[in-house]
């Protein structure tokens, strides 16, 4: 199976800019979109012509803000907000067979201390929930915009960003903790210390200079490691300040 995740930073803008053509070429079995910024009743009609059988949406209550959508061909049960009650439309959980597959738009902590605390609470409750699922025998796949670069090789300028949310020690330590709880960063598992980014600021011509951050991930539980065959970043895809990331895995 090919699974791809992409923070589109506005689904209607992507459609308007004709930025979805690559999807029919890549033919993913599962496509996770974050920051769609649109309610379910206003999803552009073009989305229904991409060749997927199912569309699941969790929209934020605030218009033009947040939201996630999953397009897929799975026979699954889909859930929202099972571990963290919020109205920002950040989580879709898809359960099929013994797998729990998450499409998540993790909070950004840059605005102020309250938002950073919100982000860390979200992180912590999610990990508690993951541990619970693992004890139940679930195998887990997590994809989405995690809004944190894990290691210094995951952003262009680590020293100048060391005091900025997205690369704070407490945020990076949570990813350490996630891995210590039996999860695998798929891109690193396949590509080692390869330098690649998934987000670039719209300012300072950052994308042309490749001054980016790797903040979009696929994590899998350790019991799926042998099933993983590929992990990639499609950094040539435009249409957002993020680019798609993906994996190929035998399920």
pLDDT-derived band at 244 (thresholds 50, 70, 90) equals: very high
pLDDT in tens, 169-202: 999 999 999 999 999 999 999 999 999 999 999 9
Do the Cβ atoms of 82 and 56 come closer than 8 Å? no
End-to-end CA gap in the chain: 7
Domain chopping of the chain, boundaries = 2-249
pLDDT in tens, 131-165: 999 999 999 999 999 999 999 999 999 999 999 99
Annotated binding site for Mg(2+): 7, 35, 145, 147, 241-242
Q: What is the pLDDT of residue 165?
A: 96
pLDDT-derived band at 23 (thresholds 50, 70, 90) equals: very high
pLDDT in tens, 55-111: 999 998 998 999 999 999 999 999 998 998 889 999 999 999 999 999 999 999 988
In 3-state terms, what secondary structure has residue 113?
A: helix
In 3-state terms, what secondary structure has residue 28?
A: coil
Q: What is the pLDDT of residue 85?
A: 86
The predicted model gives 6-14 an average pLDDT of: 97
Annotated binding site: 7, 35, 145, 147, 241-242
Q: What is the pLDDT of residue 123?
A: 98
Q: What is the pLDDT of residue 86?
A: 87
Do the Cβ atoms of 73 and 54 come closer than 8 Å? yes
For the domain bounded by 2-249, which CATH number is listed?
Answer: 3.60.10.10
Q: What is the pLDDT of residue 53?
A: 96
| Residue 193: count of CB within 10 angstroms of its CB | 7
How many whole angstroms separate alpha carbon 129 and alpha carbon 140?
Answer: 11
Catalytic residues: 105, 145, 242
Q: What is the pLDDT of residue 250?
A: 97
| Burial class of residue 146 (count of CB atoms within 10 Å of its CB; 0-12, 13-18, 19+) | buried
| Burial class of residue 234 (count of CB atoms within 10 Å of its CB; 0-12, 13-18, 19+) | middle
Average pLDDT, the chain: 96
Sign of torsion over alpha carbons 108, 166, 245, 19:
positive
């Amino acid at each position: 199976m090919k699974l791809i995740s992409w923070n589109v930073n506005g689904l209607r803008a992507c459609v308007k800019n004709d930025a979805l053509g690559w999807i029919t070429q890549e033919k993913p079995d599962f496509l996770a979109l974050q920051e769609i910024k649109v309610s379910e009743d206003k999803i552009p009609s073009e989305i229904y012509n991409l060749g997927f059988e199912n569309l699941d949406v969790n929209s934020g209550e605030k218009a033009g803000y947040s939201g996630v959508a999953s397009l897929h061909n799975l026979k699954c049960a889909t859930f929202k907000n099972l571990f963290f009650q919020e109205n920002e439309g950040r989580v879709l959980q898809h359960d099929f067979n013994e797998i729990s597959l998450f499409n998540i738009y993790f909070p950004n902590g840059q605005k102020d201390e309250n938002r950073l605390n919100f982000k860390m609470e979200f992180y912590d409750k999610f990990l508690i929930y993951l541990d619970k699922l693992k004890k139940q025998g679930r195998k887990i796949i997590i994809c989405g915009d995690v809004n944190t670069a894990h290691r210094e090789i995951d952003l262009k300028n680590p020293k100048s960003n060391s005091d900025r949310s997205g690369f704070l020690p407490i945020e990076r330590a949570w990813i350490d903790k996630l891995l210590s709880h039996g999860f695998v960063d798929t891109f690193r598992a396949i590509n080692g210390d390869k330098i690649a980014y998934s987000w670039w600021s719209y300012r300072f011509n950052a994308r042309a200079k490749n001054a980016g951050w790797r903040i979009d991930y696929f994590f899998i539980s350790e019991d799926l490691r042998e099933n993983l065959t590929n992990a990639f970043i499609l950094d040539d895809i435009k249409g957002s300040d993020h680019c798609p990331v993906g994996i190929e895995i035998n399920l």
